[in-house]
Amino acid sequence: MSDSIPRNAGFNFCPATIPLTKQNAMNHGREFLMSMQYVIRLPIIMSCMLLAACASSQRAEQSRLLALADDIAAHGDYATAASMYERAGEVPGSEGVDIQVRLADARLAAGDFEGALRSYRAALEADIDNEEALLGMGTAQLRLGQVERAERSLRQAAPEIDTVAAWSRLGAAQALMGKESEAVTAFSRAAELSPNDPDTRTNLAVVEALAGQGNKAVPLMRDVAASPLAEERHFRSLILVLVMSGQESLAETIEIPDMPADLRQSLIGHAQEIRDIGIPAQQARAIGLAMNK
């Protein structure tokens, strides 16, 4: 019996020792190339995943800031809301137009008319047909005393937006320019849209008085004053319209609740001063036509 161990008994060849034929070499080459493709693709895939995650995170942050700003604005803190909108607009990849308009609206409500005007302009530079931005720009211009620019902006915006606010602001600008007939048309449309709003109807009556249409202004203003919604400012406007329309005697005697006689006489005297100015544009400035916000 031989003591030698039979060749290959109980052993398998390691793959490394398998003879490398031409076919094996080709197979190994293909496997190597495929593995390299995966190695190359992996960083690209990872980069795309990271970019997607980053974009998602940015959108989430922007949504959070906008929701916070909206809530703050709803509670009347417009200055703080404006700072939140501004931060939201600085998030990379943000949709600029909507945020710029919301930022501008907050600045306008906070009394930052110059800042609001800049933001409205930025929105219009991105979207020249944005009606809300055009309305806002006209409003900011009106607040800044840029009446002619405001009238031009609002004349374009009002027919497109067709709201009480848009027509009222256009009417105010036109009255301040001495275009009282056009102002009557604008405020008439506002009154059509909100027939029970005493402020809108009062503005219409006042511009009718400015336009020399006392026969329309007086009945309208008396109707407003008779409404259960009438407040002290409407009774003051009643006296103004009566005096502007040449009915001073009625202004002295018409029933007005809770108005002392000395206050009535003071209001009549002030209305006479406005009437005696004689120039509708200057009369409108002296009156300080209300603008619906």
CB distance 99 to 127 below 8 Å: no
Final residue of a structural domain among 144, 161, 178: 161
Total domain count for the chain? 2
Instruction: Pick the range with the lowest mean pLDDT from 2-16, 219-233, 242-256, 257-271.
Output: 2-16
Q: Which amino acid belongs to residue 221?
A: M
pTM of the model: 0.77
Same domain, 132 and 197: no
In a domain, 188, yes or no: yes
Burial 262-287, CB ≥16 within 10 A → b, else e:
eebeebbebbeebbeeeebbebbbeb
Tell me the three state secondary structure of residue 110.
coil
What the block records as the tokens of 184 is 């009557």
Same domain, 169 and 116: no
Same domain, 143 and 199: no
Same domain, 198 and 146: no
What the block records as the tokens of 23 is 């076919």
What the block records as the tokens of 231 is 């407040």
> What's the CATH code of the domain at 67?
1.25.40.10
> What's the CATH code of the domain at 257?
1.25.40
Instruction: Pick the range with the lowest mean pLDDT from 21-30, 81-90, 176-185.
Output: 21-30
Query: Please, what is the average pLDDT of the chain?
Result: 84
Length of the chain: 293
pLDDT value for 58: 64
Which structural domain, as residue segments, surrounds residue 172? 162-293
User: Is the pLDDT assigned to residue 41 strictly greater than 90?
Assistant: no
In a domain, 83, yes or no: yes
Other C-beta atoms lying within 10 Å of the C-beta of residue 149: 17
pLDDT tens readout for residues 46-64? 444 444 444 467 677 778 8
Same domain, 176 and 291: yes
pLDDT tens readout for residues 90-138? 776 556 799 999 999 999 999 999 999 999 999 999 999 999 999 999 9
With pLDDT > 70 as the criterion, what percentage of the chain qualifies?
A: 77
User: Is the pLDDT assigned to residue 10 strictly greater than 80?
Assistant: no
Same domain, 151 and 129: yes
Reading phi first (left if > 0) and then psi (alpha if -120 to 50, else beta), residue 67 is in: alpha
pLDDT tens readout for residues 272-293? 999 999 999 999 999 986 444 3
